[in-house]
Amino acid sequence: MKRAYEGLLKRYLTYFPCVSLVGARQCGKTTLLSQLPPRWKHFDLEKRADGQTIARDPDLFFKIHPDFVAIDEAQFLPELFPALRVAIDAHRNKKGRFVITGSSSPRLVQSISETLAGRVGLIEMAPLSLAESQGFSDTPFVESLLSKNPMKALMGLAPRLSIQAVHDYWFRGGYPEPWLSRDDGFRRAWMDQYVATYVERDLARLFPGLHQTRFQQFIQLLAGLSGTVINYSDVARALEVSAPTVRTWFDIAHHSFLWRTLPSHDRKTIKRVVKHPKGYLRDTGLLHHFLKIPDLPSLLAHPQMGRSWEGFVVEEIRRGFSAQGHAIETTHYRTSAGAEVDLILEGDFGLIPIEIKHTSFIPTQKLRPLQEFVREHHCPFGLVLHNGDRPLRLDEKTVAVPVACF
C-alpha cells in the first residue's frame, strides 16, 4: 500500500545528511525503508548480528559504510549517535546518506536533539491513515487548510469515501497487519501480542526501572481515560502511586506513540480555562480492543463512542499534516463555565478551532462555544467536522466539512 510519507522521505533526503523516521512499532517504517533504491544497505539493531556489527566499533562501521545506510530501531544503541555525528560532519554538505528509525522515541529524540541537531530531518510516522487504507496517498483536507484561500478550498471538497468505509476504518484502526487481514480472530491475537511486546519487551529495555505490573495497569486504564481531561492526582490515587510517577508514565506513553496528549489552550484568553491536558489512545483499533468492543454496532452503542470518534478525527488531522511535513500545534479548550472546543489547530494558516461531531446534523446552539472562540481569538474561521453529505457554510466564519472528505 502506497504511503503518504514516501514523497516526504525522498524530499528530506535531498535536504539533510540523515533522516530519522520515528513512530509506533509495526506502523510501517521498515516497509517504507524497503522503498529506498537497491544501493542502500539495511541494518536492524534487533538482529543480534547487525547489532554486534555496529556496536563493536561504530566509528569504524561508518568508515566502512559512509553512505546509503538505513538502521532500524536506533534507540537501542545510544553509542551509535556520536559516531553518526562524526560521520556526517566528515562530509557535512553531502545529503541523503543515512536513514535511522525508532519506535520508542524518548531516548531517540534525546539522542537526536543532543547529538544530531541541525543534521537530521525528523519524520513522525503513524499507522495507516483513513485515506491510505482506501488507496489514497494525498491529503485534500490538509492541503485545503494550507492553500491561499482555505475556506474556498474547503467548500470545494467532495466526499471521496463512503460512510461505511469511514466507520469500518474507525472501528478497526490503522495498524497495517490487522487492517490487511479480515480475520477478527487474528486481529484480537495481534493486538494482544502487540501490547505484550510494547510493555514487556520494548519499555522494559528502554526503562529498566519501570514497575511493569503497575505500568501495565496504567496502560489498561488509558482506554477508559481516552478522550477525557486528565487529572494526574486522580489517576495516581487509582493506581496507588505518586502524581509525579503518573506524569512520567503519561510522558512515556506519549513519546512511544501509544497516547496523544493535548495540552490546554490557555493563551490570549480573558476567561478562566481548565488547564489540565486532554488525551487519546492514538489508534482506535487498539482502543476498541482494550474496551473489548467486538464490532461496529457495539461501538455505536458504547458509552465511549463519542470520545472514540473525537480521538479518531484528531489523529487523522495530525497524520495528514505529519505526512506533508508541516509542523502544527494541537490543543484543547475548556473554560471553568463549561464552554468547550474539541481541538485547536495552530500553524502557518493561523489559529483554527474545530468541533468534532459524529452526527450529520449540527444544532445551532451547539456552535456557540466555537463561534465565541473565533470572535475572541480573531480566528480566520472555525470548523465543524461531521458525517454530512457535503461541505456547508454555517455562517460567515464557520464551515462544516464531512470526515469522508479526508
Q: Which has the closest alpha carbon to 121: 11, 6, 18?
A: 18
Residue 228 has a pLDDT of 96
Q: Given a cut of 90, is residue 111 above it in pLDDT?
A: no
Instruction: Give the model's confidence band at 270: pLDDT under 50 very low, under 70 low, under 90 confident, else very high.
Output: low
Mean pLDDT, range 317-331, rounded to an integer: 94
Residue 126 has a pLDDT of 94
Chain segment 236-246, per-residue pLDDT in tens: 999 999 999 99
Q: How many CB atoms lie within 10 A of CB 234?
A: 13
Chain segment 165-184, per-residue pLDDT in tens: 999 999 999 999 998 888 88
Q: Given a cut of 80, is residue 101 above it in pLDDT?
A: yes
Q: Measured between alpha carbons, how far is 245 from 88 in angstroms, rounded to an integer?
A: 38
Chain segment 195-243, per-residue pLDDT in tens: 888 877 777 777 878 888 888 899 999 999 999 999 999 999 999 999 9
Q: Which has the closest alpha carbon to 225: 175, 287, 166?
A: 287
Q: Given a cut of 90, is residue 49 above it in pLDDT?
A: yes
Q: Given a cut of 70, is residue 138 above it in pLDDT?
A: yes
Q: Given a cut of 90, is residue 129 above it in pLDDT?
A: yes
Q: Which cell goes with 180?
A: 490487511
Mean pLDDT, range 109-133, rounded to an integer: 87
- Decide if 330 contacts 337 (C-beta within 8 A): no
As beta bridge partners, residue 347 has 350
Q: Given a cut of 80, is residue 264 above it in pLDDT?
A: yes
CATH class of 5-125: alpha beta
Q: Given a cut of 90, is residue 375 above it in pLDDT?
A: yes
Instruction: Give the model's confidence band at 107: pLDDT under 50 very low, under 70 low, under 90 confident, else very high.
Output: low
Q: Which has the closest alpha carbon to 291: 125, 203, 387, 173?
A: 173
Residue bearing the bigger pLDDT, 364 or 387: 387
Residue 269 has a pLDDT of 64
Instruction: Give the model's confidence band at 106: pLDDT under 50 very low, under 70 low, under 90 confident, else very high.
Output: low
Amino acid at 313: V
HEC-encoded secondary structure of the chain = CCCCHHHHHHHHHCCCCEEEEEECCCCCHHHHHCCCCCCCEEEECCCHHHHHHHHCCHHHHHHHCCCCEEEECHHHCCCHHHHHHHHHHHCCCCCCCEEEEECCHHHHHHHHHHHCCCCEEEEEECCCCHHHHCCCCCCHHHHHHCCCCHHHHHHCCCCCCCHHHHHHHHHHCCCHHHHHCCCHHHHHHHHHHHHHHHHHHHHHHHCCCCCHHHHHHHHHHHHHHCCEECCHHHHHHHHCCCHHHHHHHHHHHHHCCCEEEECECCCCCCCCECCCCEEEECCHHHHHHHCCCCCHHHHHCCCCHHHHHHHHHHHHHHHHHHHHCCCCEEEEEEECCCCEEEEEEEECCEEEEEEECCCCCCCHHHHHHHHHHHHHCCCCCEEEEECCCCCEEEECCEEEEEHHHC
Question: How is the chain split into domains, by residue range?
Answer: 5-125, 130-405
Q: Measured between alpha carbons, how far is 333 from 322 in angstroms, rounded to an integer?
A: 22
Query: Mean pLDDT, the chain, as a whole number?
Result: 92
Q: In what order do the strands lie in the sheet with 398-402?
A: 329-334, 340-347, 350-356, 382-386, 398-402, 392-395
Crossing angle of helices 80-90 and 105-115, rounded to 10°: 40
Residue 216 has a pLDDT of 87
Q: Given a cut of 80, is residue 20 above it in pLDDT?
A: yes
Mean pLDDT, range 27-43, rounded to an integer: 93
Q: Given a cut of 90, is residue 95 above it in pLDDT?
A: yes
Over its C-alpha atoms, the chain yields an Rg (Å, rounded) of 22
Chain segment 274-301, per-residue pLDDT in tens: 889 999 999 999 999 999 999 999 999 9
Lowest mean pLDDT among 65-79, 188-202, 345-359: 188-202
Mean pLDDT, range 61-86, rounded to an integer: 93
- Decide if 262 contacts 278 (C-beta within 8 A): yes
- Decide if 54 contacts 77 (C-beta within 8 A): yes
Instruction: Give the model's confidence band at 337: pLDDT under 50 very low, under 70 low, under 90 confident, else very high.
Output: confident
Q: Measured between alpha carbons, how far is 242 from 216 in angstroms, rounded to an integer?
A: 16
